[in-house]
């Protein structure tokens, strides 16, 4: 009797179990690896909208701090342990190398939406022969961020030429306000500021093509002059700025201790507003050499989503659905709304004044430059970013002259630059 | 009897040796293989023979950074070792021979910086020395310190020394604890006798105590040397991967990290990085061997 | 006891000075964690006036600290047990002249050499190896690596200490008919307790606070340790100093508390053992 009873219980249990399994919807878990722990909750909101339409997929944000991101990603991709969805950055050379090694799924045929994205935003995520491997998600501008209240108080208007810019700084300094924000400690931001302010003096597209041809001589007078020009701004930087870091910059701008932050990225606006919602910010174009010159804009396609080859077939299919959903103007609007970033459709709608100003920059000029010449030259070691950061650090600390810094960059790059 | 011993020996040695060799030595040997390859992500891409060696010592940029790093290493080492030894010995001696109270509490408090994660030490120190948020600069301003002592972490000529002093404070508990125990071990009659002979504390310390604890002195210093030589975490957190400002705090550990892993945006040449770590290992091995030999001789001389 | 009073007072003043300098950073960390973010930026010298405990609430809720603590405990604990067990066994062989065989000194040196390796060299080859063995992203894998890494120092200390145990103890036991294992367990181990304590403290310190290995080898946030959890946390709140330092304090102060409670035993063992030997 007892045996029969046990048998019945076991049978019932297994039937129930199978039934539950059959009828319960199996959710596929997808983790998204990226370098923005700051945006954890913001991405969550985007995922929520996607998951409402696709309840069988669960998206999880899996960010780690940016400083270790790319090394970690390399290791994980090689070890076939990467998350199904990985964000990659604007470093086109690196992106292509990784794709060549077979880490990412070829999206050329799978993601027809890619071809609908404006061409200049496709560039960072495709090979030279047109193969796509990442879905463009966000773009960034850098610009001359300024505090509107301070400008109003001292009756100032955004400068157009470099000389007007200097005059404005002098006036602010005279009135006891720190005109410019600049920090040296968190080296990664240095070349953003340098690149932005010196674009008018280094030359625009011509400069970039010379660089890419492998024949640029960094000791030429134009480059040295650009370095000297940066150094000449020193009196307008905060006191002891060599000891200040990036967080200090964010905080000081937010608490209105400085008037202008050259090279501030559009990705900072929401962060700064978070610290101090009352601050009124705007952006003006890079001061040019003389009236009538083009004020080049730094824009770059910032984040792209890839599907890791090491993911399971099921995960790849699910990830593809997410990527398709993200590569639409509709998702672009969500990127604007929730994360405060520019999308890759150039259909940006912002309520924030500063972000509107950033958007206006491209509108005025219509000429987009693939940002940051230094990042383009990172195909070997030492990279141009390392050298320019170290060089400017030495320049500002006073241990090297502009000529020496230019020479150092040239010598450093000579290990691999121009030798192909 | 011998054979039974044999099994026992093997049984007792094998686990440790096996784990150590598999999970530590073997990867290191693999790691050193990279010195002969051009490697993009640490994986062996292309055999290049001795090229990495010639690049490190030949290419001006790498060579300059390498010798700069060595120089910084020795400044950092010198200051922290000398500082901790002088302070450690003095306090250990005074507390021990004078039987002062509170020795235990003192040692505990000084040892605490060793317990907490080094990241926290880095973050808190950065905060204190931050020119805009930190208290150090405000105090320095209030007390009218000369310009040199303001913004100490942002200036190339003061940054490394500041970090060395922070390290002295962080490390002090270690030698202090060991020396205290060692000095306590010295038979009290010897010290009492020399006091009767009229020697003052200073001479006792110098001639007797130092001599008697010399083996421990050597061992402790070799250990501290090793720790400080591969020092990396604190400087990376406080001054960034470039060992700024202007490479003034770039030590071998940071140089190695930067060369192997690159910066924020990639880059890096693990082949050259592996050569650097080889050089580091060589220097360390020499120091350690010399130290151990000295220690053995001193021990034998002191054998009671 | 004919120290001049003045002398002793000077010493005590210096002692207190150093203590204050060492403790000051902790005070700052505490102060900042209780301040409002704007106050931190605009009034650095001020004492926290509003006592914002919110920072701690945020840190606990968003920092995933409990899981990190649990994992750190598991990994460090297991490592400690294996290191002490394996190293004391090996040291027993190395220390006693009773056992002699040709490779003995060579093997000892082989083990000690490990103390001098900068760990970063290991990371990438180790990754390949662990991946190959299926131990990547597992706590066991990391425990194995930490054990291997800590064996050199522990063996060094334990061998040194065991050498000073006098041979008569063992001979006496042998005459009583004790076998090797018994000699080890009943005589060697109790006598080297101070060394075991020392090795334990240093192993603990190195494993508990290690950052790079868990960063690379523990991908799953559910098994990550404190330093990595902390750094993700710091990435999120980089410029919210108040929450950042609240999180740091939640790691620092429990550690210090644990240390103070246990250190009495540690120091007692250290000094009594030293006297005995």
Alpha-carbon distance of A248 to A244, in angstroms, equals 6
Alpha carbon of C241: minimum distance to chain B alpha carbons (Å): 9
CB < 8 Å to C125, chain B? 26-28, 30-31, 34
Please report the residues numbered 73 through 112 in chain A whose beta carbons come closer than 8 angstroms to any beta carbon of chain C: 75-76, 79-81
**Widest pairwise Cα distance in chain C:** 76
The answer to whether the CB atoms of B184 and C274 lie below 8 A apart is yes
User: Cβ(A355)–Cβ(A266) under 8 Å?
Assistant: yes
The answer to whether the CB atoms of C8 and B100 lie below 8 A apart is yes
- Higher-pLDDT residue of A410, A119: A410
pLDDT above 80: residue B60: yes
Start-to-end CA distance of chain B, whole Å, equals: 33
> Taking CA A74 as the corner, what is the angle to CA A72 and CA A76, rounded to the nearest 5 degrees?
70
Please report the residues numbered 22 through 81 in chain B whose beta carbons come closer than 8 angstroms to any beta carbon of chain C: 22-28, 30-32, 34, 41-43
Whole-number pLDDT of residue A51: 92
Whole-number pLDDT of residue B135: 87
CB < 8 Å to B167, chain C? none
Residue C36 belongs to domain spanning = 5-42
Q: Which of A36, B120, B248, A68 is nearest to C120 (CA)?
A: A68
Residues β-bridged to residue B39: B44
Residue C58 lies in a domain: no
User: Cβ(A335)–Cβ(A46) under 8 Å?
Assistant: yes
Q: With cut-offs at 50, 70 and 90, classify the pLDDT of residue A420.
A: low
pLDDT above 50: residue B115: yes
Mean pLDDT of the C243-255 span: 84
Q: With cut-offs at 50, 70 and 90, classify the pLDDT of residue A181.
A: very high
pLDDT above 80: residue C148: yes
Q: Enter the CATH code of domain A26-140+300-354.
A: 3.40.190.10
Residues β-bridged to residue B44: B39
Whole-number pLDDT of residue A306: 94
Mean pLDDT of the B276-292 span: 85
Continuous segment of H or E residues that includes residue A31 = strand A28-34
Whole-number pLDDT of residue A365: 47
The token pair that represents A112 in the structure block: 């027809």
Domain at A142-299+360-413, CATH homologous superfamily: Periplasmic binding protein-like II (3.40.190.10)
CB < 8 Å to B130, chain A? 243-245, 248
| CA nearest to A89 within chain B | B265
Query: Out of C42, C127, C235, whose CB is closest to A255?
Result: C42
Of the listed ranges A29-38, A82-91, A233-242, C228-237, the one predicted with least confidence: C228-237
Residue B171 lies in a domain: yes
Q: Which SS3 state, helix, strand or coil, does residue A301 take?
A: strand
The answer to whether the CB atoms of B154 and A241 lie below 8 A apart is yes
Whole-number pLDDT of residue C7: 77
Alpha-carbon distance of A416 to B285, in angstroms, equals 33
Q: With cut-offs at 50, 70 and 90, classify the pLDDT of residue A363.
A: low
Structural Rg of chain A based on CA atoms: 25
Neighbour count for residue C167 (Cβ, 10 Å): 10
Of the listed ranges A98-102, A263-267, B99-103, C262-266, the one predicted with least confidence: C262-266
Residues C9, C120: one domain? no
For A297, half-sphere exposure in the C-beta direction (CA atoms, 13 angstrom radius) is 21
Residue C162 lies in a domain: yes
CA–CA distances in Å: residue B281 to residues A267, B38, B79, B206, B294 = 43, 21, 21, 33, 20
Alpha-carbon distance of C251 to C69, in angstroms, equals 9
B239 at the A interface (CB within 8 A)? yes
Whole-number pLDDT of residue B40: 64
- Higher-pLDDT residue of A365, A38: A38
Q: With cut-offs at 50, 70 and 90, classify the pLDDT of residue A211.
A: confident
Q: With cut-offs at 50, 70 and 90, classify the pLDDT of residue C206.
A: confident
Q: What is the pTM of this model?
A: 0.85
Residues C24, C76: one domain? no
pLDDT above 70: residue B138: yes
C42 at the A interface (CB within 8 A)? yes
CA–CA distances in Å: residue C107 to residues A46, A157, B10, B285, C37 = 59, 76, 12, 16, 56
Residue B77 lies in a domain: yes
Kindly report, residue by residue over C215-226, the tens digit of the pLDDT. Answer: 778 877 778 888
Residue B10 lies in a domain: no
Mean pLDDT of the A75-81 span: 81
Overall domain count for chain C: 2
Alpha carbon of C21: minimum distance to chain A alpha carbons (Å): 22
Q: What is the mean pLDDT of chain A?
A: 86
Alpha-carbon distance of C216 to B195, in angstroms, equals 58
Of the listed ranges A6-20, A116-130, B32-46, B216-230, the one predicted with least confidence: A6-20
pLDDT above 70: residue C267: no
| Residue that the structure tokens 């980089």 belong to | C238
Mean pLDDT of the A189-200 span: 88
pLDDT above 50: residue C276: no
Whole-number pLDDT of residue A317: 92
The answer to whether the CB atoms of C252 and B120 lie below 8 A apart is yes
User: Cβ(A412)–Cβ(A380) under 8 Å?
Assistant: no
CB < 8 Å to A399, chain B? 156, 246
User: Cβ(B132)–Cβ(A248) under 8 Å?
Assistant: yes
Of the listed ranges A298-312, C26-40, C169-183, C248-262, the one predicted with least confidence: C169-183
Of the listed ranges A184-193, B73-82, C203-212, the one predicted with least confidence: C203-212
Kindly report, residue by residue over B159-195, the tens digit of the pLDDT. Answer: 999 999 999 999 998 898 888 888 887 777 777 777 7
Query: Out of C22, C45, C86, whose CB is closest to B110?
Result: C22
pLDDT above 90: residue A405: yes
Mean pLDDT of the C2-13 span: 75
Residue B195 belongs to domain spanning = 48-302
Q: With cut-offs at 50, 70 and 90, classify the pLDDT of residue A88.
A: very high
Would A26-140+300-354 and A142-299+360-413 be classified into the same CATH topology? yes
- Higher-pLDDT residue of B72, B8: B72
Whole-number pLDDT of residue A369: 55
Continuous segment of H or E residues that includes residue A357 = helix A353-365
Residues β-bridged to residue A57: A28
Residues C82, C144: one domain? yes
CB < 8 Å to A183, chain C? none
Whole-number pLDDT of residue C76: 92
Residue C29 lies in a domain: yes
- Higher-pLDDT residue of A367, A224: A224
Q: With cut-offs at 50, 70 and 90, classify the pLDDT of residue C265.
A: low
pLDDT above 80: residue C33: yes
Q: What is the mean pLDDT of chain B?
A: 84
Alpha-carbon distance of C20 to C23, in angstroms, equals 5
CB < 8 Å to A68, chain C? 215
Residues C203, C79: one domain? yes
- Higher-pLDDT residue of C62, B111: B111
Q: Which of B249, B201, B90 is nearest to A394 (CA)?
A: B249
Mean pLDDT of the B258-282 span: 81
Q: With cut-offs at 50, 70 and 90, classify the pLDDT of residue A153.
A: very high
Residue C28 lies in a domain: yes
pLDDT above 70: residue C211: yes
Cα-flanking dihedrals φ and ψ of residue A258, to 5°? -130, 160
Mean pLDDT of the B84-111 span: 84
Please report the residues numbered 151 through 190 in chain B whose beta carbons come closer than 8 angstroms to any beta carbon of chain A: 151-156
The token pair that represents B108 in the structure block: 């505990």
- Higher-pLDDT residue of C8, C83: C83
A265: left (phi over 0), alpha (psi -120 to 50) or beta: beta
- Higher-pLDDT residue of C52, A396: A396
Q: Which SS3 state, helix, strand or coil, does residue A87 take?
A: strand
The token pair that represents C5 in the structure block: 């009073």
The token pair that represents A263 in the structure block: 């090279």
What residues contact residue C26 under an 8 Å CB cut-off, 6+ apart? B124, C252
- Higher-pLDDT residue of A20, A55: A55
| CA nearest to A409 within chain B | B61
Mean pLDDT of the A347-362 span: 84
Alpha carbon of C24: minimum distance to chain B alpha carbons (Å): 10
Residue C261 lies in a domain: no
Alpha-carbon distance of A143 to C180, in angstroms, equals 76
Alpha carbon of B244: minimum distance to chain A alpha carbons (Å): 7
CA–CA distances in Å: residue C117 to residues B71, B253, B283, C114 = 20, 11, 11, 6
CB < 8 Å to A80, chain C? 131
Residue C232 lies in a domain: yes
User: Cβ(A349)–Cβ(A278) under 8 Å?
Assistant: no
Q: What is the mean pLDDT of chain C?
A: 80
Neighbouring subunits of C (3+ Cβ pairs under 8 A):
A, B
DSSP string, chain B: -HHHHHHHHHHHHHHHHHHHIIIIIHHHHHHHHGGGEEESSSSEEEE-TTHHHHHHHHSHHHHHHHHHHHHHHHHHHHHHHHHHHHHHHHHHHHHHHTT-TTHHHHHHHHHHHHHS-HHHHHHHHHHHH-TTT-HHHHHHHHTT--GGGSSTTTSHHHHHHHHHHHHHHHHTHHHHHHHHHHHHHS-HHHHHHHHHTT--HHHIIIIIIHHHTHHHHHHHHHHHHHHHHT--HHHHHHHTTTTSSTTTT--HHHHHHHHHH-BTTB---HHHHHHHHHHHHHHHHHHHHHHHHHHHHHHHHH--
Could you tell me what percent of chain A has a pLDDT over 70? 92
User: Rounded to 10 degrees, what is the CA torsion of B176, B181, B183, B188?
Assistant: 150
- Higher-pLDDT residue of B202, C85: C85
Q: Residue C204 maps to which CATH number?
A: 1.10.3720.10
User: Rounded to 10 degrees, what is the CA torsion of A75, A79, A85, A88?
Assistant: 30
Q: With cut-offs at 50, 70 and 90, classify the pLDDT of residue B44.
A: low
Alpha-carbon distance of C249 to C72, in angstroms, equals 16
Interface confidence, given as ipTM, is 0.82
Whole-number pLDDT of residue C80: 93
pLDDT above 80: residue B14: yes
Alpha carbon of C137: minimum distance to chain B alpha carbons (Å): 15
Helices (H), C135-240: 139-163, 167-175, 180-182, 189-191, 193-208, 212-217, 226-236
Residue C77 lies in a domain: yes
Kindly report, residue by residue over A365-403, the tens digit of the pLDDT. Answer: 445 555 567 777 877 778 888 899 999 999 998 899 999
What residues contact residue B198 under an 8 Å CB cut-off, 6+ apart? none
Kindly report, residue by residue over B122-137, the tens digit of the pLDDT. Answer: 889 988 998 888 888 8
- Interface mutation vs chain B, best among C105, C121, C160, C177, most B CBs within 10 Å: C121
Parse chain A into domains and list their residue ranges. Answer: 26-140+300-354, 142-299+360-413
B108 at the C interface (CB within 8 A)? yes
pLDDT above 70: residue C63: no
Residues C138, C210: one domain? yes
Alpha-carbon distance of C275 to A54, in angstroms, equals 71
Q: With cut-offs at 50, 70 and 90, classify the pLDDT of residue C274.
A: very low
The answer to whether the CB atoms of C236 and A40 lie below 8 A apart is yes
Neighbouring subunits of B (3+ Cβ pairs under 8 A):
A, C
Mean pLDDT of the A328-344 span: 89
CB < 8 Å to A76, chain C? 219
Nearest-10 crossing angle of helices B60-97, B173-185: 40
Residue C243 lies in a domain: no
Q: How many beta-carbon pairs under 8 angstroms link A with C?
A: 50
Residue B207 lies in a domain: yes
pLDDT above 80: residue C238: no
C48: left (phi over 0), alpha (psi -120 to 50) or beta: beta
Instruction: Of A318-332, C22-36, C94-108, give the range with the top mean pLDDT.
Output: A318-332
- Higher-pLDDT residue of A203, B41: A203
Structural Rg of chain B based on CA atoms: 23
Q: Which SS3 state, helix, strand or coil, does residue A144 take?
A: strand
Alpha carbon of B105: minimum distance to chain C alpha carbons (Å): 9
Overall domain count for chain B: 1
Q: Which SS3 state, helix, strand or coil, does residue A240 take?
A: coil
Could you tell me what percent of chain A has a pLDDT over 90? 42
**Residue B304 class from Cβ within 10 Å (0-12 exposed, 13-18 middle, 19+ buried)?**
exposed
Q: Residue B79 maps to which CATH number?
A: 1.10.3720.10
Q: Which of A296, A91, A93 is nearest to A205 (CA)?
A: A296
Alpha-carbon distance of B249 to B240, in angstroms, equals 9
pLDDT above 60: residue A23: no
CB < 8 Å to A250, chain C? 239
């Amino acid at each position: 009797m007892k045996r029969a009873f046990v048998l019945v219980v076991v049978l019932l249990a297994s039937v129930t179990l199978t039934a539950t399994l059959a009828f319960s919807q199996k959710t596929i878990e997808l983790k998204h690896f990226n370098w923005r722990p700051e945006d954890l909750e913001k991405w969550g909101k985007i995922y929520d909208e996607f998951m409402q339409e696709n309840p069988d997929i669960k998206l999880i944000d899996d960010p780690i701090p940016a400083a270790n991101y790319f090394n970690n990603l390399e290791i994980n991709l090689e070890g076939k342990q990467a998350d199904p969805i990985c964000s990659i950055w604007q470093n086109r050379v690196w992106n292509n190398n990784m794709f060549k090694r077979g880490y990412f799924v070829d999206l050329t045929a799978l993601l027809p939406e890619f071809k609908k994205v404006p061409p200049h935003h496709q560039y960072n995520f495709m090979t030279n022969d047109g193969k796509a491997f990442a879905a463009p998600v966000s773009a960034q501008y850098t610009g001359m961020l300024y505090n509107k209240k301070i400008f109003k108080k001292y009756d100032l208007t955004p400068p157009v030429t470099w000389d007007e810019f200097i005059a404005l700084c002098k006036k602010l300094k005279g009135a006891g306000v720190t005109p410019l924000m600049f920090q040296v400690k968190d080296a990664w931001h240095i070349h953003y500021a340098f690149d932005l302010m010196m674009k008018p003096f280094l030359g625009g597209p011509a400069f970039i093509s010379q660089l890419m041809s492998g024949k640029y001589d960094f000791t030429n007078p134009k480059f040295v002059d650009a370095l000297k020009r940066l150094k000449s701004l020193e009196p307008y930087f905060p006191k002891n700025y060599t000891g200040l870091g990036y967080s200090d910059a964010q905080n000081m701008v937010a608490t209105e201790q400085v008037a202008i932050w050259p090279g501030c990225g559009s990705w900072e606006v929401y962060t700064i507003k978070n610290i101090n919602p009352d601050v009124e910010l705007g952006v003006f174009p890079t001061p040019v050499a003389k009236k009538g010159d083009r004020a080049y804009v730094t824009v770059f396609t910032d984040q792209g989503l890839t599907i890791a080859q090491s993911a399971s077939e099921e995960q790849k299919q699910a990830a593809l659905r997410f990527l398709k959903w993200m590569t639409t103007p509709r998702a672009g609007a969500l990127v604007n709304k929730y994360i405060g970033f520019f999308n890759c459709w150039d259909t940006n709608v912002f309520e924030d004044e500063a972000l509107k100003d950033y958007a206006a920059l491209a509108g005025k000029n219509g000429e987009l430059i693939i940002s940051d010449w230094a990042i383009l030259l990172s195909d070997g070691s030492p990279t141009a970013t390392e050298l320019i950061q170290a060089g400017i650090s030495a320049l500002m600390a006073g241990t090297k002259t502009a000529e020496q810094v230019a020479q150092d960059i040239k010598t450093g790059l000579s290990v691999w630059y121009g030798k192909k | 009897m011998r054979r039974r011993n044999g099994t026992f020996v093997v049984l007792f040695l094998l686990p440790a040796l096996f784990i150590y060799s598999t999970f530590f030595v073997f990867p290191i040997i693999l790691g050193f293989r990279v010195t002969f390859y051009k490697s993009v992500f640490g994986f062996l891409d292309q055999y290049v023979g001795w090229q990495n060696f010639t690049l490190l010592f030949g290419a001006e940029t790498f060579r300059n950074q390498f010798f700069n790093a060595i120089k910084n290493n020795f400044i950092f080492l010198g200051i922290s070792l000398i500082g901790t030894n002088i302070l450690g010995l003095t306090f250990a001696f005074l507390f021990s021979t004078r039987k002062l109270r509170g020795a235990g509490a003192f040692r505990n408090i000084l040892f605490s910086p060793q317990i907490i994660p080094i990241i926290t030490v880095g973050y808190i120190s950065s905060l204190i020395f931050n020119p805009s948020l930190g208290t150090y600069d405000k105090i320095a301003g209030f007390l009218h310190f000369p310009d040199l002592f303001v913004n100490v972490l942002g200036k190339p000529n003061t940054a490394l020394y500041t970090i060395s002093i922070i390290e002295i404070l962080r490390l002090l508990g270690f030698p202090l604890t060991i020396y205290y125990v060692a000095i306590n071990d010295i038979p009290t009659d010897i010290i009492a006798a020399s006091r009767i002979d009229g020697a003052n504390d200073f001479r006792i310390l110098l001639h007797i105590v130092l001599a008697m604890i010399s083996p421990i002195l050597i061992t402790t210093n070799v250990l501290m040397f090793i720790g400080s030589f591969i020092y990396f975490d604190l400087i990376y957190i406080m001054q960034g991967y470039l060992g700024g400002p202007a490479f003034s705090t770039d030590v071998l550990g940071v140089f190695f990290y930067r060369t192997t892993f690159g910066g924020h945006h990639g880059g890096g040449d693990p082949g050259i990085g592996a050569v650097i770590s080889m050089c580091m290992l060589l220097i360390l091995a020499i120091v350690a061997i010399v130290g151990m030999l000295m220690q053995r001789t001193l021990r034998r001389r002191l054998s009671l | 006891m004919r120290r001049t009073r003045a002398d002793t007072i000077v010493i005590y003043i210096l002692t207190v000075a150093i203590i204050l300098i060492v403790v000051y950073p902790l005070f700052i960390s505490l102060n900042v964690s209780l301040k409002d973010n704007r106050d931190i930026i605009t009034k650095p010298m001020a004492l926290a006036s509003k006592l914002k405990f919110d920072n701690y609430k945020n840190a606990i809720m968003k920092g995933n600290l409990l899981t990190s603590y649990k994992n750190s405990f598991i990994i460090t604990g297991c490592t400690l047990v294996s290191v002490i067990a394996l190293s004391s066994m090996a040291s027993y062989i190395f220390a006693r002249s009773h056992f002699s065989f040709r490779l003995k000194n060579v093997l000892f040196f082989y083990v000690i050499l490990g103390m001098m390796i900068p760990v970063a060299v290991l990371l990438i080859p180790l990754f390949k190896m662990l991946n190959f063995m299926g131990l990547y992203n597992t706590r066991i894998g990391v425990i194995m690596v930490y054990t291997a890494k800590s064996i050199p120092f522990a063996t060094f200390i334990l061998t040194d200490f065991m050498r000073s145990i006098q041979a008569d103890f063992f001979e006496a036991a042998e005459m009583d008919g004790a076998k090797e294992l018994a000699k080890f367990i009943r005589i060697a181990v109790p006598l080297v307790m101070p060394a075991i304590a020392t090795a334990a403290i240093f192993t603990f310190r190195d494993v508990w606070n290690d950052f790079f290995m868990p960063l690379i080898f523990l991908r799953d946030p559910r098994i990550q340790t404190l330093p990595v959890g902390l750094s993700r946390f710091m990435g999120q709140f980089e410029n919210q100093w108040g929450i950042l330092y609240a999180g740091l304090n939640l790691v620092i102060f429990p550690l210090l508390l644990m240390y103070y409670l246990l250190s009495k035993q540690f120091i007692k063992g250290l000094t009594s053992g030293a006297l005995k030997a």
